[in-house]
Chains A and B, each alone.
Chain A
Amino acid sequence: MGNIVAGQPGSVESEETLQYLTFTVLGELMAIGILDVKEIIEVGSMTRIPMTLDCIRGVINLRGNVVPVIDLRSRLADQPSVLSKRSCIVLVQVKVEEEYQTMGMLVDMVNEILEIPETDLQKAPDFGTDIDNEFIDKMARYHDEFIILLNIARVFSIDDLSATKVQQHLALDNLS
């Protein structure tokens, strides 16, 4: 599959109606702005990186480049995804220290592209959702459903993800 949208990712807030790519994780409908999406690919061969957090599923070979893939289910709810035929990797561009880096996120299923008017966006509730509030950017009302708009920057926070298991263990050791 080629690029769905060519162009720079980034903030798109100025327009009234925006397009979102929706997908399913943990049985919930989630979405990210279409301009953040670089590509959607099937799940192929993936290489595990030892000593990293569980939510880092591994790295894939994207036309000769090594791209890390985050297991979204594991990242959001600490449950490893089980691969199915419908599993997909959504490649997004994330700004890391002034550079754009391509990263993948493993989702259970990709749905469709929706146009959601800005007026239908709401602030995330303080509690009540299955996933941590900090990962939610906004909630979008679409017909009778609510779609979670993910905070990409938070999901792909390098500070969180680059912690190694050793550090995690050490942190636990120190606590005990």
Chain B
Amino acid sequence: MVDDMKLTFLQESEELLQQMEDALLAMEEAPDDEEHLNSVFRAMHTIKGAAGIFGYDFIVSFTHPVETVMDQVRSGNRSVDSDLVALLLECKDHTANLVQTVASDNEDNVPAELLENGCEILARLTGEGSENNSVKGATPSVAGASSPIEAEPQKATPNDNWVIALDFKQDALRNGLDPLSFIRYLQRLGEIVNIITFTHDMPAANEMDPETCYLSFRIALHSDSNKDEIESVFEFAVDDCDIRILPPHSKQITYLELLEDVEPESVQRLGDILVGIGAVTQQELEGALNEQEAIIDEAVANPEQKVKPLGEILVERNVVAKPVVEKALKKQEDNREKASRDAQYIRVDANRLGQLINLVGELVISNAAVKLMVDKYEIQEAQEVVAGVDNLVEDIRDHALQLRMVQIGDTFSRFRRVVRDVSKELNKDIKLVITGGEAELDKTVVEKINDPLTHLVRNSLDHGIESPEERLAKGKPAQGVLRLNALHDSGHIVIQIADDGAGLNVEKIRAKAEAIGLVKPDQVLSHRETLRLIFEPGLSTKTQASNLSGRGVGMDVVRRNIDALRGTVEVDSSVDKGTVVTIHLPLTLAIIDGFMVGVSGERYVIPLSMVEECVEIDNHQLDEQRSYVNLRGDVMPFLRLREFFDVPDDEVGDHSDRRESLVVVRFGRTKAGLVVDQLFGELQTVIKPLGKLFQGLKGISGATVLGSGDIALILDVQGVIGLASQRGGHKQGLVDHA
């Protein structure tokens, strides 16, 4: 149980720290954005709180001062600059280290070194802040230096005064209150412009009790103080005096502006919102609530009685102006909406999702079996039902898969930190531009793409983008740009890592490849082919290895990782212009829409997203000698799957009259035709892994179970095209004609 909670603490801390980092990095660019500030504050605050519950005092003692500093920043007493952000990033890292000690069950024995390090960071953090701190302390609290309202310049126009209504109760004097002293005290807050004394309650002189207070006052006060402060003047008189404080006109505008800024953190009650911005004091709120309660009590007794909303009561009681209440109500509504949007997320065990998707896969297969039966026995009545179920299953499949889809943006934004740190370390000025972060793909794919991406990004930072001096010498802007982009393309996600750096030196690559015997000196390679060599093992053109990359073990690992995901990686580069690495990945590793074809007795499934069209052809249209075809004027290479896969013939006799079909597939910019015997049409395809044994197999990416229980193989279109190009020269004439 405790372990479970600890796990939750660890997970949440990790998430919060990640959010904090993101926010800090964003703060560097937009220091004034309060949302980021709040995010950092929240992270520290929540971790502190949770650590406190668990008794991890070493975390509390570190996060508390950081939180304090953040609070100063929030209240505007400390400005955000890059130094502070850097320090806070250190704080984040340190906190992560502290949390790590908990994760490694080391919490009873926290390394002294770590604690010292923490103290040192804190000293730097608060050391710089102490100056500001003392200034704050010296500011008289009455003046409310930290009040945001105060910041608004006030003009001394006549209607810019607070109106304070003081209706003393009759017992006020008997209770030792002296109205005059309050009024005198009020002067300390501002200038009393006018006082009207109401004496209409004063009875005739003979009836007057000198110990009873009959006076009411209306005071116009010109003051910069806020409502709370004014009310606090009458703190001791609350019981013996009805106090209403009406804000000056300009204050209302301020309130409206403040409402605009009310944090969407949580749904607040109307009263809390109004108190929060200072339009209503706690006292006034309580009064109004009591009144409302009384009305509710009445309403219980008498159903005719309408319960008034709190806002109406407040307006009636003249403590707040109507527009302020309306605005606050609207804000409340907005916040509620946002909160309900946040609340729509449920934390789900990834394994359970996996199980669900597996089950949906089985459902798809069973459904196909049912369909097959119904077709076989021609059960007319069942046709319609089956069609309905089929649609449902398809919907369920799509939704189930959707559950595991995540935006790639989070993965991308992790690189902000990498780019920032590495560019500092290398004394380079590099900007990271992220686009297409909303593109979604399967979580299982995202997890596995992180490492290759990190490698590629580091490569760009290290080798790609030059130092500012070099860049200026080349006539480029000093600041280098690294772009991460994602987009969807025919059932794949395309991820691009582009830099505007030095580019790859084709001659160097060639020389190195020849040196390690990868290519023969007389071999002719196109620009693209040469670039592709960098994905071969042992090739690194950087003469000196840095601690980031350049040890020549990188790019081949990148390609292997991406191959394992049934993806491809391509590189394009031109000297001094930059390098673009393009990764194509399938959106999901679970279920796809497929298109089934038959070759002799064997069945193959082509991912539907890659199928462009199907053309029925007569045998004589395809020349046995050539392996390209004229497709509406364009030359397109084709291959016969039968020959390509050495499919044994299952039919006896003459094949010359066999009708074949040409399935046009597209991968990226390459189009090719696959000659097959039969077209079976679309099929929901549950991808079953073929296992370790066939991991290295190109051309087949997986298997699927058909409704009949048979297994059909899923074609790996890019693999087939790649293999065909390799066999190229003598057997098949497939070329990359991009």
In the bound complex, CA of A161 to CA of B647 (Å): 20
Does A79 make an interface contact (CB < 8 A)?
no
The answer to whether A129 has its CB under 8 Å from any CB of chain B is: no
Shortest beta-carbon distance, B708 to chain A, in Å? 8
Binds B, one of A9-17, A20-28, A42-50, A130-138: A42-50
Distance in angstroms from B46 CB to nearest chain A CB is 38
Option from A66, A103, A162 in Cβ contact (under 8 Å) with B711: A66
Residues of chain A contacted by B691 (CB below 8 angstroms):
66-68, 101
> Which of A56-64, A113-121, A146-154 is the interface stretch?
A56-64
Check A176 for interface membership: any CB of B closer than 8 A: no
Within 8 A of A (CB), among B696-724: 696-700, 703, 705, 709-713, 723
Is A158 part of the binding interface, using a Cβ–Cβ cutoff of 8 Å?
Answer: yes
Judge whether B548 is part of the interface by a CB distance below 8 angstroms: no
- In the complex the two chains form, what is the Cα distance from A66 to B688 in whole Å? 7
- Residues on A with C-beta less than 8 A from B705 are 61, 64, 66
Which residue of chain A has its CB nearest to the CB of B645? A50
B349 contacts A by Cβ under 8 Å: no
Interface assignment of B185: CB less than 8 Å from any CB of chain A: no
Name the residue among B362, B644, B689, B691 with the largest chain A CB count within 10 angstroms.
B691
Select one of A47, A56, A162 contacting B703, CB under 8 A: A47
One of A47, A65, A158, A164 near B713 (C-beta < 8 A): A47
> Quick check: B711 and A56 within 8 Å, CB to CB?
no
Interface 1/0 per residue, B539-571 and A, CB below 8 Å: 000000000000000000000000000000000
* B694:A47 contact, CB within 8 angstroms: no
Could you tell me the distance between the alpha carbons of A49 and B688 in the complex, rounded to whole angstroms?
A: 14
- Is B602 a contact partner of A47 (Cβ separation < 8 A)? yes
- The chain A residue sitting closest to B706, CB to CB, is A61
Q: How far is the CA of A50 from the CA of B697 in the complex (A)?
A: 9
Q: Are A45 and B709 closer than 8 Å at their CB atoms?
A: yes
Residue B341 CB within 8 A of the other chain: no
The residues of A that contact B602 with a CB separation of less than 8 Å are: 47-48
Contact B703–A59 (Cβ < 8 Å):
yes
Contacts of A4 in B (CB 8 A): none
A1 interface residue per 8 A CB criterion: no
User: B696–A162 contact, CB under 8 A?
Assistant: yes
Q: Does B692 contact A (CB under 8 A)?
A: yes
Inter-chain CA distance A166–B700, complex, in Å, is 14
Given contacts A64-B705, A65-B688, contact A47 B710 (CB under 8 A): yes
Q: Determine the distance from Cα of A50 to Cα of B639 in the docked complex, in whole angstroms.
A: 15
A152 vs B128: C-alpha distance when bound (angstroms): 69
B689 surroundings in chain A (CB, below 8 A): 66
Give which listed residue, B645, B692, B693, B703, contacts A51 with CB less than 8 A: B645
Q: How large is the interface on B (under 10, 10 to 19, 20 to 34, 35 or more residues)?
A: 20 to 34
Within 8 Å of chain B (Cβ to Cβ): is A96? Answer: yes
Complex contact B723–A68 (CB within 8 A): no
Contact of A101 with B694 in the complex, beta carbons under 8 Å:
no
Does B695 sit at the interface, judged by CB under 8 A? yes
Interface of B is mostly: mixed
Smallest CB–CB gap between B124 and chain A, Å? 46
> Is B353 on the interface with A (CB-CB < 8 A)?
no
Q: Are A47 and B711 in contact (CB under 8 A)?
A: yes
- On whether A59 and B697 interact (CB within 8 A), knowing A47-B602, A47-B713, A49-B713, the answer reads no
Q: Is the CB of B709 within 8 A of A161?
A: no
Using CB atoms, name the residue of chain A closest to B692.
Answer: A96
The answer to whether A162 and B694 have CB atoms under 8 Å apart is: yes
B243 interface hit (Cβ, 8 Å):
no
Q: Which residue of A lies closest to B646 (CB)?
A: A50
Interface size on A (CB < 8 Å)? 26
User: With a CB–CB cut-off of 8 A, which chain A residues contact B362?
Assistant: 64
Residues of A within 8 A of B697 (CB): 49, 51-52, 162, 164
Chain A residues with CB below 8 A from B713, complex form? 47, 49-50
Q: Are B723 and A158 in contact (CB under 8 A)?
A: no
Nearest A residue to B690 via CB reads A66
Closest A residue to B705 using CB positions: A61
- Encode contact with A along B677-693: 1 for CB under 8 Å, 0 otherwise: 00000000000111111
Residues of B within 8 A of A97 (CB): 692
Complex CA gap A59/B712 in Å reads: 10
Closest residue of chain B to A48, judged by CB? B602
Closest chain A CB from B144 CB (angstroms): 66
The distance in angstroms between the C-alpha atoms of A9 and B647, with both chains bound, is: 37
Contact A161 B712 (CB under 8 A): no
Task: Provide the residues of chain A in CB contact with B646, threshold 8 Å.
Answer: 50-51
Interface residues of B in 580-615 (CB under 8 A from A): 602
CB distance from B477 to the nearest CB of A (A): 48
- Alpha-carbon separation in the docked complex, A45 to B709 (Å): 9
How long is the Cα–Cα vector from A62 to B692 in the complex, in angstroms?
Answer: 17
* Interface presence of B230 (CB below 8 A): no
Closest B residue to A47 by CB, please name it.
B711
* Cross-chain contact A61 with B710 (CB below 8 angstroms): yes
When the two chains form their complex, are residues A52 and B694 in contact, meaning their CB atoms are under 8 A apart? yes
| Nearest neighbor of A46 in chain B, beta-carbon distance | B711
Would you call B692 and A101 a contact (CB within 8 A)? yes
Of all chain B residues, the one with the shortest Cβ separation from A103 is B693
- Chain B residue at minimum C-beta to C-beta distance from A67: B691
**Contact: A51 with B711, CB < 8 Å?**
no
Answer yes or no: B456 CB below 8 A from chain A CBs.
no
A68, B694: Cβ atoms under 8 Å? yes
A162 contacts B695, C-beta separation under 8 Å: yes
A103 to B694, CA, bound (A): 12
Closest to A45 in B: B710
Q: How far is the CA of A74 from the CA of B698 in the complex (A)?
A: 23
Q: Give the residues from 125 to 176 in chain A that come closer than 8 angstroms, CB to CB, to chain B.
A: 158, 161-162, 164, 166
B696: chain A residues within 8 A (beta carbon): 162, 164
User: In chain A, what residue has the closest Cβ to B696?
Assistant: A162
Nearest B-chain residue to A163, judged by Cβ: B696
Question: In whole angstroms, what is the CA distance A101 to B688 when docked?
Answer: 14
How distant is the Cα of A58 from the Cα of B711 in the complex, in angstroms?
A: 10
Task: Give complex CA distance A51, B698 in Å.
Answer: 9
Contacts of B647 in A (CB 8 A): 50
- Residue picked from B645, B693, B699, B700, most chain A C-beta under 10 Å: B693
Other A-B contacts than A47-B703, A66-B705, 18 sampled, CB-CB below 8 A, are A47-B713, A50-B644, A51-B645, A56-B693, A60-B711, A61-B710, A66-B688, A66-B690, A66-B691, A68-B690, A68-B694, A96-B692, A101-B691, A103-B693, A162-B695, A162-B696, A162-B697, A166-B698
Give 19 CB contacts A-B under 8 Å. A45-B710, A47-B710, A49-B694, A49-B713, A50-B644, A50-B646, A50-B699, A51-B697, A51-B698, A52-B697, A61-B709, A61-B711, A65-B688, A66-B691, A101-B692, A161-B693, A162-B696, A162-B697, A164-B696
5 residue pairs, one from A and one from B, having the closest CB atoms: A50-B645, A47-B711, A66-B688, A66-B703, A96-B692
